[in-house]
Amino acid sequence: MQYLLQFTYRPGEGPEEGTPEFDAEMKVWHELNEELRTSGQYLAASGLKVDAATTVRKTGDEVTVTDGPFAETKEILFSFYILEVPDLDAAIAVAARTPAAEYGSVDIRPMVGASFA
Amino acid sequence: MSAAAGALERAYRDERAAVLATITRRLGGDLALAEDVVQDAFVVAAVDWDRRGAPERPGAWLTTTAWRKALARLRHDRVAAAYVPETPMTSEFEFDDSSLDDDQLAMLFACCHPALAPESRMALTLRSVAGLTVPEIARAFLSSEAAMERRLGRARRKVSDARIPVSVPSDDLLPERLAGVLRVVYLIFTEGHGAVRGDLCEEAIRLARLLVRLMPDESEARGLLALLSLTDARRAARMADGELVALPEQDRSLWDAERIAEGRALLGGIKSPPTPYVIQAAISALHSTAPSWEATDWPQIAALYAELQRYDGSPVVAVNRAVAVGFADGPRAGLALLDAAAQDERLARYQPLHAARAELLTRAGEDADEAYARAIELTANEAERAALSRRRAS
């Protein structure tokens, strides 16, 4: 079963880049990544540039491009995992070990019909 | 009742949840389809067992029959949609009688999974573990059948789509998940208790009994069953002339002595340190054996509420403790605790606090008029309003 884990934080929460706390957090992520790779649960993961998102909508032939989505979202999506695990409890177990679970939140979304290049 | 009908009823009560768990797992978590085919299997059994007699292993018979129904459906779907999720199409299938208990537990843990909405957990538990029908559950929650069917449908889809495991959680998860299961059983009971609906209370007690039988070493499960038995023992005394009767005013001769004995026996068997349900059960047991409200062992009840407050900071516990202390150490000691609790602004409209305050002020020989006025204003129950007005005037 494949799950998308979305990691979010609220502005002002979580350690800031350049602090020892931030470095400590990165270490936890790297160790977790390694472990998930070794156990075969890891399919993909990435950080996201949180200040550079762009939203596209199309009405008829008209394409509207806007900066965002920040204004309407209090929680900022900053990273994701794609995992292959047996069931929801296994996905929850991984989510609970991530630093984001402590200062932000993790949304677990079951994937359907995923395909990878 | 014929032997076959008796066997069918027993199988429905004791084995349905386990059969459902087995089929659901076998279908890769498709609880919705599993519910349908297990239901079909019981319909077939009703005819077949009546004609040929009940099989030697009803659970195995029902599982095999349900599985054949599932295969027929999947084949039909495969032809219709040319797509079926990865399900083994083999009809060979071993039903393991020895895992009957584990399978029932597995179903219970799946239905009470924290990823489901709390009200869905109750409904799904009543349907898939207790085997209540949708109309019965809808009636219990004062909902329409269509709305209940939708809620159950959503919950089943979540179990399938998110792949909520139909299994007993691993040891590291077990304490937390068991607490969640006990909470659902407790909420089913309070749902029935609040509305004085015996059917839901009975179901909750049955579920608690199942948990105690399947997990005999879990003292919180035992404590919950004790608490439910002791509380339910007062059911007949809780209503008079269509109105709720509070504990002090209840006719104690109407209390169910058998249920009280059962609750006390369960409590007596608990050796581990007290936990919330065990403490609440102990409080209930002291009330159950008191000859009257006044002649209750208040010092011990006050001590138990103090202990309970360490786990539960709710206003209900704070007010109950103040009342107990008011009897044990005098009204002024109780008032001091109430005043401390009243600092919490959320309690401004909490009727029991004002009713307790009025009572304690009266007993302390102070002016209780304002407290009575506030309590009466916040009381919806006619009989209780009348009782408060009588006390205010006396």
Number of Cβ atoms within 10 Å of the Cβ of A104: 19
Measure the CA angle with vertex B29, ends B28 and B35; round to 5°: 120
Instruction: Band the pLDDT of B100: cuts 50, 70, 90.
Output: confident
Residues B331, B354 within the same domain:
yes
> Mean pLDDT, to the nearest integer, of B48-70?
93
Residues B327, B271 within the same domain:
no
| SS3 of residue A103 by DSSP | helix
CB contact under 8 A, B164 and A88: yes
Give the list of residues 6+ apart from residue B52 with CB closer than 8 angstroms, or none. Answer: none
Residues B388, B341 within the same domain:
yes
Number of Cβ atoms within 10 Å of the Cβ of B349: 11
Distance of CA B288 to the CA centre of its chain: 20
What pLDDT score does B209 carry? 94
Asked whether residue B129 is domain-assigned, the answer is: no
Asked whether residue B67 is domain-assigned, the answer is: yes
Candidate ranges B135-139, B253-257, B342-346; pick with highest mean pLDDT:
B253-257
**Beta strand extents in chain A (DSSP E only):** 2-9, 42-47, 54-59, 62-67, 76-84, 105-110
What phi and psi, each to the nearest 5 degrees, are found at residue A66? -130, 160
How far apart are the C-alpha atoms of B18 and B52, rounded to whole Å? 24
Cis peptide before A86 (omega within 30 of 0): no
Residues B216, B302 within the same domain:
no
Judging contacts by C-beta atoms under 8 Å, the chain A residues touching residue B115 are 88, 92
pLDDT above 80 for B158: yes
Instruction: Band the pLDDT of B102: cuts 50, 70, 90.
Output: confident
Domains of chain A: 2-110 (3.30.70.1060)
Mutate to test the interface with A, among B163, B167, B171, B173 (most CBs of A within 10 A): B163
CB contact under 8 A, A89 and B162: no
Per the structure block, which two tokens stand in for B102?
Answer: 């584990």
Asked whether residue B245 is domain-assigned, the answer is: no
Whether residue B176 lies within 8 A of chain A, CB to CB, comes out as no
Question: What tens digit of pLDDT does each residue of B229-241 get?
Answer: 999 999 999 888 8
| SS3 of residue A50 by DSSP | coil
CB contact under 8 A, A110 and B163: yes
Domain count of chain B? Answer: 3
| SS3 of residue A84 by DSSP | strand
How far apart are the C-alpha atoms of B296 and B326, rounded to whole Å? 12
Asked whether residue B118 is domain-assigned, the answer is: no
Residues B259, B329 within the same domain:
no
CB contact under 8 A, A108 and B162: yes
Report yes or no on whether pTM surpasses 0.90. no
Asked whether residue B138 is domain-assigned, the answer is: no
**Residue where one domain finishes, among candidates B49, B66, B90:** B90
Whether residue B165 lies within 8 A of chain A, CB to CB, comes out as yes
Per the structure block, which two tokens stand in for B163?
Answer: 């792949």
Whether residue B169 lies within 8 A of chain A, CB to CB, comes out as yes
Asked whether residue B271 is domain-assigned, the answer is: yes
How far apart are the C-alpha atoms of B1 and B385, rounded to whole Å? 49
Residues B334, B369 within the same domain:
yes
The partner residue sitting opposite A110, judged by closest CB among B162, B169, B170, is B162
Question: What tens digit of pLDDT does each residue of A70-84 get?
Answer: 656 678 899 999 999
What pLDDT score does B309 carry? 94
CB contact under 8 A, A1 and B163: yes
Residues B34, B10 within the same domain:
yes
What pLDDT score does A12 carry? 80
How far apart are the C-alpha atoms of B223 and A45, rounded to whole Å? 45
What pLDDT score does A10 carry? 86
Least confident of A71-85, B39-53, B255-269: A71-85
Among chain B residues, the shortest Cα distance to A92 is held by: B115
Question: What tens digit of pLDDT does each residue of B331-389 get?
Answer: 999 999 999 988 888 888 888 899 999 999 999 999 999 999 999 999 877 777 888 88
Least confident of A43-47, B128-132, B193-197, B350-354: B193-197
Whether residue A108 lies within 8 A of chain B, CB to CB, comes out as yes
> Mean pLDDT, to the nearest integer, of B91-101?
67
Residues B263, B186 within the same domain:
yes
What pLDDT score does B261 carry? 96
Residues B178, B268 within the same domain:
yes
Residue B77 domain boundaries: 3-90
Find the CATH number of the domain harbouring B363.
Answer: 1.25.40
pLDDT above 60 for B86: no
Judging contacts by C-beta atoms under 8 Å, the chain A residues touching residue B162 are 88, 108, 110
CB contact under 8 A, A87 and B115: no
Residues B301, B203 within the same domain:
no
Instruction: Band the pLDDT of B88: cuts 50, 70, 90.
Output: low
Quickly tell me which residue has 């999974």 as its tokens: B113
ipTM of predicted assembly, 2 dp: 0.87
Residues B375, B303 within the same domain:
yes
CB contact under 8 A, B161 and A87: no
Asked whether residue B137 is domain-assigned, the answer is: no
The partner residue sitting opposite A110, judged by closest CB among B113, B161, B165, is B161
Pairing of strands A42-47, A105-110: unpaired
